[in-house]
A = this chain, B = another copy of it.
Amino acid sequence: MTRPRPISGFPEWLPPQRMIEQQLVDRLRAAFECHGFAPLETRAVEPLDQLLRKGETSKEVYVLRRLQAESGESGDEALGLHFDLTVPFARFVLENAGRLQFPFRRYQIQKVWRGERPQEGRYREFLQADIDIVDRGTLPAHYEAELPLVVGEALAGLPIPPILIRANNRKLCEGFYRGLGLDDPPAVLRAVDKLDKIGPVRVATQLAATAGASEAQAKACLGLAEISAGDGSFVEAVRALGVEHPLLEEGLGELASVVDTAREHAAGLLVADLRIARGLDYYTGTVYEAQLRGYERFGAVCAGGRYDNLATAGDDRYPGIGLSIGISRILGLLFGAGALSISRQVPTCVLVALPAEDQRPVCLRVASALRRRGIAAEVSPSAAKYGKQIRAAARVGIPFVWFPGQDGAADEVKDIRSGAQDTADLATWSPPVADLRPTVTAVTKEIK
């Protein structure tokens, strides 16, 4: 084999980074479960026609083919890798509705794949953590206020910068556009969605071209998009634009409730920001987008919204709401900035030194006794000189080396960092709690 090279868009972490990722995932899992979300994994593949229901995303799908597929093989429909966890979840709910209890709260932490062009430098495989709540028939609006609190709480316990969630409401926008006399709200949304990329002048041009907006209508749309507030004051700001529509009122009420609830339970977590559009057109109520504070220009690390029509079959409707955290994206940003570190490269807390190869059974028993008390331990690979064994432990950050007593002498344990060495009783010795497992810490530095 020639020495292999990375594949663009498919990031792989080294073990210390993977340990950081696992601690992040463990924390998210614990928080989601603490909020009553049940775990779920769906298969990596979906029938291609399901993935292509939304034309917009079709270009990003990886299609599968069995290498030895025979032509005319029966029952083998075209499959593609899922590009998010929402579409598979909606499918799972429909498929298993009779075996689920509603409202159904689930979290799902899995890889997703997007066949982006490699030269764009985007991830083609990445890890997402999603929470969703679906109900049968109707879904109460209070979940739109609850979901950001769950994500805020889950991320708050981690050594990463805080997030700011920006929320908008599709009914608010649609009502506003219709109240203005614009009757193709998706076309308006698509144009406004480009505001950050192309600026207000070109958005206005596009509004005229694709949504038939007059200059005054375009100006009003851009005025709406400029409104942002951390409290209910955005409602008055919208009303000051002088547009009226029942759907607008409904959306204003829902978004005000989301903002008020967040203010009460998690001050600083969320603001109303009426330029948030979100590309996918299945959202029907609140939409969310979040950035890491200090990393805003790198884009969203969390996004989602309410979708009323994604899981429907005949008369059965399962409206839902979800938020998705981009784990690979968060870690990619923070690793890139050198903003996270871990106290060692391996889980091992104690290396049991090996006096001679024929002492391996004794050393295996020592390691086994430590493990029975939850202390991660491994036996030295070889009976090299002790100095060499200690240096090997130090290289990967193992904090302690255990020396089995020879010829009736007591066992001893050395803290490699301080050099302190003492006799120790295998039945009772424990490391300081902080050394039991690798610890992740934030590295404070200037962001480039």
Interface residues of A (CB under 8 A from B): 1-8, 10-16, 18-19, 21-22, 33-45, 47-48, 50, 53, 58-69, 75-77, 79-81, 91-92, 94-96, 99-101, 103, 105-106, 111, 113, 115, 118-119, 125, 135, 140, 142, 146, 149, 153, 261, 264-265, 311-314, 345-348, 357, 360-361, 364-365, 368, 371, 374-379, 381-382, 392, 395-396
Contact = CB atoms under 8 A, between A and B. Distances in A.
B346 A36 contact: yes
B14 A142 contact: no
How many monomers of this chain does the complex have? 2
**8 smallest beta-carbon distances between A and B, as pairs:** A36-B378, A66-B115, A33-B347, A36-B348, A15-B38, A10-B43, A59-B68, A61-B67
A109 to B, nearest CB: 10
Given A1-B91, A39-B347, 19 more contacts: A3-B313, A4-B50, A7-B43, A7-B77, A7-B79, A10-B43, A10-B44, A10-B45, A15-B100, A37-B347, A38-B345, A43-B125, A44-B111, A44-B113, A48-B67, A105-B346, A105-B378, A142-B357, A149-B364
30 contacts: A1-B50, A3-B95, A4-B47, A4-B91, A7-B45, A12-B43, A15-B100, A15-B106, A16-B38, A19-B38, A19-B39, A34-B347, A34-B376, A34-B377, A35-B376, A35-B378, A36-B378, A38-B346, A38-B347, A44-B113, A62-B66, A63-B65, A65-B65, A67-B115, A101-B392, A135-B381, A142-B360, A146-B364, A153-B371, A265-B364
Contacts of A68: 58-59, 115
Contacts of A364: 146, 149, 261, 265
Contact of A64 (B50, B64, B261): B64
A94 B3 contact: yes
A264 B365 CA distance: 10
